[in-house]
Chain A
Amino acid sequence: MHQDKNVERRTVLKAAGASLAVAGLGATATACGGGSGSGDGTVTIRYAWWGAEDRAERIKKTIALFEKKYPKIKVKTDFQVYPDFWKKFNTQASGGNPPDVFQNAIGFLRKYDAKNVLLDLNAQVEAGNLSLDGFRAGLEKFGEVDGKLLGVPVGSNSMALVIDKPVYTKSGVKPEQGWTWDDFDAAMKKIRDKAGRAGDSGMYGVMYLYDLYLRQNGKAFFTEDGLGFTEADLKEWWTKAEKGIKQGIYADPKKVAQTKPKSAVAAELAAGEFTWDNFTVRYTSEGKSEYGLAPIPTTDGKKTGQYLGSLMLSASKRTQHPKEVAQFINFMVHEPEVAKIMGYDRGVPATQAQYDAFKPTDPVNKAIAEYEESLVAAGVLEPITPHPNGADICEAGFMRIAEELALGKRSVDDAVKQFFTESKTALGS
């Protein structure tokens, strides 16, 4: 399928019309079959996502657009904050009643595939309802697990070092692509001495950063079915962390805990934090300073280990309308108008067409686009493997145990041992 975008869309629309006619016939033939099909061939699909009010507003507008183009598909929406979303999803999925289509992330693909919840969208790609063309940087591969297409990326993010710009400037620190961990440590000390602020909010507990560090050394946090590092690896990482806490280069964990859910950077407890690049948007709304993005430090002066992370749309295996769901996903990832509405809310748009459709004008979003472009230019991006079942519990455990270490509740040995014990249980190995 190497068609021009517009042709592509027209084909999809035509296919949609045809399929709807078929669906309509089907509905009259088996009127008592599906609960959500009505006599005139209109089907209703349920769409759930996590996020805040702002995202809800945008998504509402994109759905209005979708319903206008597909008048025979009605979309019922539902959203929660992140933890509540998964609690509810879990309930519904375990009861055999998950939403037809929902927002997903790489950490949950194997988890819910193991529970037989996710629909393999490959059949819909073959049927022409969903196109995998035109994705940036190989993103279409991100939702693939064992040859099954379990999710389609809507946007991409990358880990970055989000910094309080004035504090960095004041301390005379200028991070550059390819700087090393030694440079980073020296910078942290400089910030502590010159600006009187901790340089970092607690990098030792950020699973995704440790993943990058491992990748710089030829490993990774997760393999397909377990952890990709040894107790000795983690011991090295956390020993360094313990030293840093004593030196005052990381923010006081007690204060960080109390300022939550506000970020330590916005609360002016730390000059920087390793997190996803689109978090600058949040920090800008939370804090008073000016926030920017800095490159990830490296081990060898080149490799950052970075990859694009992404939010996806997945469909449930139980859906009675796989075709309509596929059309919906297709519309949401390819339609340029959608990108104009969504902006970088779910990361930088995954397809080239959407990427080109939205050009940010504000400095914060502009910086995000530039950052991701610079990553592509630097050629540092790597592929990512979907996390194993139980990865979400490992991540929470990593953060919590690192915090316990920082608070002095555990020794390094104890913390490492505890993390491996918990992970073993969570990963079921």
Chain B
Amino acid sequence: MSAQATEITPAPTAKGGALRRKLPGSLAWHIGSLLILAVILYPVIWVVGGSFKNSDDIVGSLDLFPSDPIISNYTRLSEGIADIPISTFFLNSLTLAVGSVIGILVSCSLTAYAFAKIKFAGRNLLFTLMIGTLLLPYHVLLIPQYVLFRNMDMINTNTPLLLPKYLATEAFFVFLMVQFMRNLPRELDEAARLDGCGHFRIYWSIVLPLSRPALITSAIFTFINAWNDFMGPLIYLNDPEKYTVSLGLKMFVDQDAVANYGGMIAMSLVALLPVLAFFLAFQRYLIDGMATSGLKG
């Protein structure tokens, strides 16, 4: 990213005083960026400020922060939603998110290894099929999958939400890993083959460790997706005790929003925190993962 060649600014040239042109340009750049930043951040700051306001002042008042902040919106969260402690929802979401991450890492990396490192009959056809699923609208599968899981008596369990992750149906991550593994130096695994290593050894001791960046990117995206997922839990989970944070929030909207609007806003913010924390900790991996996914690996 630091290479000079990456800069595409109309480079300051000799014509016209370089300094004179640079200063206002820089100022305009920063003002522009700050303006966009303000728009981007407004909703987030709004929810932070709103969570410290009285319910009645949240929507009607234009002040971002209240003059007399209250914390009762947060303390009331300890009462839970519909008699269920907030921690239950977080634990459920965490279970699903961590379960998803493990599933994706194992199943997608195995599949990606086969695509990237093993030559076998039918590989190109399967690869095309896999790419095809990438563009397939999920809704076509929604109803038959629901019927399938219902017939297997798995509604109201985590299985319908986790099983797809363990069967590598998230083609995006397979693709990300395939691209990454293909670019690993071939000499390493060829040398290992000559030493008599089988595919599993190569996969486990050479390719996986070298693919760490792709694995980390996949893991973070998977975690965030699972955390944010709304439609899946909406369809498959029925017991409030099994609800994820997203469904818990929706239940808050339906049940308590009138009586406790401030609590709902506070809960909205708390629900965002894990994702924001992941973002702050791993933003490089996320952005690089995004950037490379759009370019040819």
Contacts and interface: CB of A to CB of B under 8 A. Distances in A.
B238 A88 contact: yes
Most chain A beta carbons < 10 A, residue from B156, B258, B259? B258
Nearest to B251: A81
A76 to B, nearest CB: 12
A52 interface: yes
Given A53-B83, A95-B155, A261-B254, A285 B238 contact: no
A56 interface: yes
A80 B255 CA distance: 10
A53 to B, nearest CB: 5
A56 B258 contact: no
Contact of A80 (B153, B155, B240): B240
A185 to B, nearest CB: 30
A53 B255 contact: yes
B80 to A, nearest CB: 9
A88 B237 CA distance: 9
Given A81-B254, A261-B257, A56 B238 contact: no
A45 B255 CA distance: 27
Contact of A87 (B238, B251, B258, B259): B238
A286 interface: yes
B234 to A, nearest CB: 9
A56 B150 contact: no
A94 interface: yes
Chain B binding surface, main DSSP class: loop
Interface residues of B, number: 16
Contacts of A78: 239
A78 B82 CA distance: 12
A399 B44 CA distance: 35
Contacts of B150: 91, 94-95
Interface string A79-111: 111011001100110110100000000000000
A240 interface: no
A56 B82 contact: yes
A366 interface: no
Interface in A212-266: 261-262, 266
B82 A95 contact: no
Nearest to A85: B238
Nearest to A87: B238
A94 B153 CA distance: 11
A378 to B, nearest CB: 33
A330 B239 CA distance: 27
A95 B83 contact: no
B185 to A, nearest CB: 52
Contacts of A56: 82-83
Interface string A262-303: 100010000000000000000001100000000000000000
Contacts of B156: 88, 91
Nearest to B253: A261
A95 B147 CA distance: 10
B82 A52 contact: yes
Contacts of A95: 150, 153, 155
Interface of A: 52-53, 56-57, 78-81, 83-84, 87-88, 91-92, 94-95, 97, 261-262, 266, 285-286
Given A52-B82, A81-B255, A266-B258, 19 more contacts: A56-B82, A78-B239, A79-B240, A80-B238, A81-B251, A81-B254, A84-B251, A87-B238, A88-B156, A91-B155, A95-B150, A95-B153, A97-B153, A261-B253, A261-B254, A261-B257, A261-B258, A262-B257, A286-B258
15 contacts: A52-B255, A53-B82, A53-B83, A53-B255, A57-B83, A83-B254, A88-B156, A88-B238, A91-B150, A91-B238, A95-B150, A97-B153, A261-B253, A261-B254, A261-B258
